[in-house]
Amino acid sequence: MKVTIEVNGGPVSAEVEDRTLLVHYIRETAGLTATNVGCDTTSCGACTVLLDGESVKSCTVLAAQADGHAVTTVEGLTGQDGELHPVQRAFREQHGLQCGFCTPGMIMATVSLLEHNPKPTRAEVREGLEGNLCRCTGYHNIVSAVVDASGQEVAR
Amino acid sequence: MIPVQFGYRRASSVDEALALLAEHGDDAKLLAGGHSLLPLMKLRLAAPEVLVDIAPVEELHHVRIDGEDVVIGALARYHDLQGDEVLREHAPLLAHVAGVVGDQQVRHRGTIGGSIAHADPAADLPAAILASDAVLVARGQEGERRIPAADFFLGPFTTSLTPEELLTEIRVPRQTGLGWGFEKFTRRAIDWAIVGVAVSGKRVGLINMGGTPVRASAAEEALARGASVAEAAELAAEGTSPPDEPHATTEYRRHLARVLTARALETSAGSR
Ligand SMILES: Cc1cc2nc3c(=O)[nH]c(=O)nc-3n(C[C@H](O)[C@H](O)[C@H](O)COP(=O)(O)OP(=O)(O)OC[C@H]3O[C@@H](n4cnc5c(N)ncnc54)[C@H](O)[C@@H]3O)c2cc1C
Ligand code: FES
Ligand code: FES
């Protein structure tokens, strides 16, 4: 079927198989490869993107379900001039990544979390990101990055 | 993992969805949030030939008051329900339970109707609607019928819906001001419950204590007789047949049901 998705502000149209997963549409059709496939079973959150501004696991959404909707990937957060989004800046600042595999998903889940809860406590961050796994287990600094991105003081 | 080939069809109204179901019969399956169905299709445990996407059906996303009932559209997502003011006031147990299903991403997709129609004995909302004495509204070619939650769940992943029917609404008698409590025992953050307990007023629903969600009738009767929370909770596992699995034996589940029922009843008593 013909699918048209607004990806990071611009339309991407393609004729794809009905069974195409959104994550494959993003990586292969739109050519944006920051979004990773980790578990492929809706568990790890590495494939998290925003669908109409809300975090979803794109390995468990059909491209067809996103037809006519807007998707934002981590590539879409960066400003025109290469300026980092506050959440990206905070992950860098707080060393919120080690190998970086989980990071695009962590960042997108964080953007959605802060949208609903702009000043989360550390405990709320851990709960809010429960759908994202970091195999490097760098959770402490990830939580610090989210707290930093929310404009709160990071407890040392 | 990629599902077997299928044809994707989109319905924008209940009538359109019913027509598509009638046209494709047993080969078709409804797709709501897709968070039970798509994982099964990716594992190739399900292979419908046609998916009828009902997410765009605007008429089924509501939460509203109708007389003595709160009426929830089958396509309302967990995320919508957890923050809904009407639900928080008149069916606070359901609003709370919607907020603890899976994780943030799952709650942005999964729907209450999908969870109920899927009828996983380990799912949270089915037991909560059972404890809320809800009535389910289904529509088919022949019209509408109402099914009490107690008659809806027939077995694991089996309900009294026919393949040509759509679950349209969940009608919950207002639980305004009633005490409520919810306990869910899991091994890891986003796991399904090993056992869970949902309490609204004097009704107790159990998760994963059998092939369907069940009411803890013996405990409820004890409460009605004026028994203490501790006495009633001791009876929580009476008449249930919980599964026996390597990570959670039948006896262990019975123990959990008693402990969690006591906790949920205590929370309920304190929340009034
Ligand atoms: C990572 C993860 C964690 C989860 N954790 C939990 C948890 O902790 N607790 C829990 O309870 N659940 C959990 N779930 C399951 C989740 O709640 C599902 O979203 C829900 O069970 C199904 O809702 P859906 O809208 O996604 O339905 P779908 O997957 O679209 O559909 C499920 C089934 O119901 C049918 N159906 C859907 N809507 C209707 C309708 N209106 N009328 C008739 N039939 C219909 C479909 O044909 C299909 O057979 C989890 C899922 C994932 C992926
Ligand atoms: S790849 Fe989608 S959740 Fe892991
Ligand atoms: S930084 Fe390696 S998986 Fe998270």
**CATH number of domain containing B40:** 3.30.43.10
The CB of A42 under 6 Å from ligand 2? The reply is yes
Categorize the per-residue pLDDT at A145 as very low, low, confident or very high, splitting at 50, 70 and 90: very high
Same domain, B198 and B261: yes
* Phi and psi torsions of A117, nearest 5°: -140, 85
DSSP 3-state assignment of A128?
A: helix
Q: The pTM is what?
A: 0.97
Q: Residue A26 Cα, ligand 2 centroid: separation in angstroms?
A: 14
B138: nearest Cα among B112, B111, B161: B161
Task: For residues B45 and B233, give the distance between their C-alpha atoms in angstroms, rounded to a whole number.
Answer: 38
Same domain, B120 and B162: yes
Q: At what angle do helices A139-149 and A103-116 cross, to 10 degrees?
A: 40
Same domain, B17 and B103: no
How much is the pLDDT for B272? 61
Domain that holds residue B39: 7-53
pLDDT in tens, B126-177: 999 999 999 999 999 999 999 999 999 999 999 999 999 999 999 999 999 9
Q: Name the average pLDDT for chain A.
A: 97
Task: For residues B91 and B82, give the distance between their C-alpha atoms in angstroms, rounded to a whole number.
Answer: 11
Task: For residues B183 and B261, give the distance between their C-alpha atoms in angstroms, rounded to a whole number.
Answer: 8
**Is B1 within a domain?**
no
**CA A20 vs CA A60, B45, B263, B272: distances in Å:** 10, 18, 45, 49
**CATH number of domain containing B228:** 3.30.390.50
- Interface test with chain A among B50, B104, B190, by most A beta carbons within 10 Å: B104
Residue A4 has pLDDT above 80, yes or no: yes
End-to-end CA distance of chain A: 52
Q: Looking at the DSSP assignment, which residues form a beta bridge with residue B50?
A: B7, B28
List the structure tokens of A116: 């609903």
Q: Relative to the CA of A43, which ligand 2 atom is closest?
A: 3
**Pocket lined around ligand 3, Cβ cut-off 6 Å:** A 97-102, 134-136, 138
Q: Chain B: nearest CA to A19, how far in angstroms?
A: 6
Q: Kindly report the protein residue whose alpha carbon is nearest to atom 4 of ligand 3.
A: A134
Q: Residue A46 Cα, ligand 3 centroid: separation in angstroms?
A: 9
Topology of domain A86-149, per CATH? DNA polymerase; domain 1 (1.10.150)
Q: Which residues of B touch A19 (CB under 8 A)?
A: 2-6, 8
- Interface test with chain A among B105, B109, B186, B187, by most A beta carbons within 10 Å: B105
Contact at CB, A64 and B8, closer than 8 angstroms: yes
Q: For the structural domain made of A2-77, what CATH number should be given? A: 3.10.20.30
Q: What is the CA radius of gyration of chain B?
A: 18
Return the number of other C-beta atoms located less than 10 Å from residue B110's C-beta.
Answer: 24
Residue A103 has pLDDT above 80, yes or no: yes
* Phi and psi torsions of B114, nearest 5°: -65, -40
pLDDT in tens, B30-46: 999 999 999 999 999 99
List the structure tokens of B212: 């369907």
List the structure tokens of B82: 């957890």
Contact at CB, A48 and B109, closer than 8 angstroms: no
Contact at CB, B103 and A51, closer than 8 angstroms: no
Q: How far is CA B10 from the centre of its chain?
A: 24
Same domain, B27 and B110: no
How much is the pLDDT for A124? 97
Domain total of chain B: 3
Ligand 3: residue of A39, A101, A110, A129 to mutate (most ligand atoms within 8 A of CB) is A101
For chain A, helix (H) and strand (E) counts, in that order, are 6, 5
Q: Give me the tens of pLDDT residue by residue for chain B, a chain 272 residues long.
A: 899 999 999 999 999 999 999 999 889 999 999 999 999 999 999 999 999 999 999 999 999 999 999 999 999 999 999 999 999 999 999 999 999 999 999 999 999 999 999 999 999 999 999 999 999 999 999 999 999 999 999 999 999 999 999 999 999 999 999 999 999 999 888 889 999 999 999 999 999 999 999 999 999 999 999 999 999 999 999 999 999 999 899 999 999 999 999 999 999 998 76
**Last-in-domain residue among B173, B193, B217:** B173
Indicate the burial class of B227 (C-beta count within 10 angstroms; 0-12, 13-18, 19 or more). middle
Domain boundaries, chain A: 2-77, 86-149
List the structure tokens of A6: 């607004």
Element (H, E) at B227: none
pLDDT in tens, A5-57: 999 999 999 999 999 999 999 999 999 999 999 999 999 999 999 999 999 99
B190 touches A at CB < 8 Å? yes
Task: For residues B213 and A70, give the distance between their C-alpha atoms in angstroms, rounded to a whole number.
Answer: 38
Q: Looking at the DSSP assignment, which residues form a beta bridge with residue B117?
A: none
∠ Cα A117 A60 A119 (to 5°)? 10
Task: For residues B24 and B256, give the distance between their C-alpha atoms in angstroms, rounded to a whole number.
Answer: 44
